[in-house]
Amino acid sequence: MPQTANPLKQFFRQPSIYLRLPSLGQYWDQAKIDMPPNKELPVYPMTAIDEITYRTPDALFNGQAVVNVIQSCIPAIRDAWNMPGCDLNAILVAIRIASYGHEMEMTIKCPKCETDSDFILDLRIVLDKLTCPDYNKAMQQGDLEITFTPITYQHQNETNLKQFDQQRLIQQIQMSDQLTDEQKIEQLNETLQKITNLTIETLKYSIASIRTPQSLVTEPEFIQEFLVNCDRKFFTEIRDHIIDLRQKSEIESINVTCSHCNHKWPQNLTLDQAAFFGDAS
């Protein structure tokens, strides 16, 4: 008689670490995450399928691969598209630790003498330093009070793809030998306009509310209309504030010393996915 329950189940992967999100679950749609009372999410190592998914360059690009791997390794996250941007780095670092351990070997080229140095990064320290700023803290602007929210992975991904398209278009216009100079200028202007619109879109999704003396505005379309029509100075202040908030959830640069010439410099770390998950085996 065939067995109904798989006796191998007890040998399936187990959680290898527990993750406390920088946001502690704030800014999430609560239907999209099962937050345990102690706020510690179990993180499972990647399966072979996850690893293949992650390393496929095309799938990487639309964000679906990232989402699939996150939902596979942290099943408490039901919809990773909904994840606020301030948690993304911590989630990726935790999955990397759960899958390959906390030490990450890196080769870094000294900017001064160009010697390659091997370097071991302790990802536990990186993870501990990741924080989420207080997006609820209001910004006062004359009669207006603005509160913020981190952009979701879905919106971030959409904007990144559109931005990439526009940048590719700029290159094509510049390289073109079919277009006259006037046509090039005209098309470049059009493209730059579209890029500005994308910035406005990102800002729109980063604003939770704008309070006027009479009312509270949370409708994204009204906020967008306001951003298009407010004065330049006001716009710049809002934009800089949002950039500043986003930078607070970035990974801190690490101080590196060259073993050859003793030159010291701050090295930026980016979680470029293919490299981040590709070098371990």
Q: Which residues bind Zn ion (CB under 5 A)?
A: 110, 112-113, 115, 258, 260-261, 263
Q: Rank residues 39 and 260 by Cβ distance to Zn ion and give the closer one.
A: 260
**Nearer residue to Zn ion within complex by CB, 129 or 263:** 263
Least gap, CB of 265 to Zn ion (angstroms): 9
Determine contact, residues 175/143, Cβ cutoff 8 Å: no
Report the alpha-carbon distance of residue 267 to residue 149 in Å, rounded. 29
Task: Pick the closer one to Zn ion by CB: 115 or 193.
Answer: 115
Residue 149's alpha-carbon distances to 32, 84, 157, in angstroms, are 17, 8, 16
Nearer Cβ to Zn ion, position 119 or 234? 119
Site of tokens 């390659």: 116
Contact 21, 13 (CB under 8 A): no
90, 127 in Cβ contact below 8 A? yes
- Single-letter amino acid, residue 105: E
Least spacing, CB of residue 116 vs Zn ion, in Å:
10
* Closer Cβ to Zn ion, 116 or 272, answer by number: 116
With respect to Zn ion, which residue has the nearer C-beta, 97 or 256?
256
Q: What 3-state class would DSSP assign to 22?
A: coil
Q: How far is the CB of 260 from Zn ion (least distance, A)?
A: 5
Please give the distance of CA 130 from its chain centroid, rounded to a whole number. 13
Shortest distance in whole angstroms from residue 117 CB to Zn ion: 8
Helices (H), 135-231: 153-175, 181-206, 220-229
Separation CA 201–CA 120 (nearest Å): 39
**Residue 268 Cβ vs Zn ion, minimum distance, rounded to whole Å:** 17
Whether the CB-CB separation of 242 and 135 falls below 8 Å is answered with no
Q: Which of 90, 80, 88 is nearest to 33 (CA)?
A: 80
- Closest distance to Zn ion from the beta carbon of 262 (Å): 7
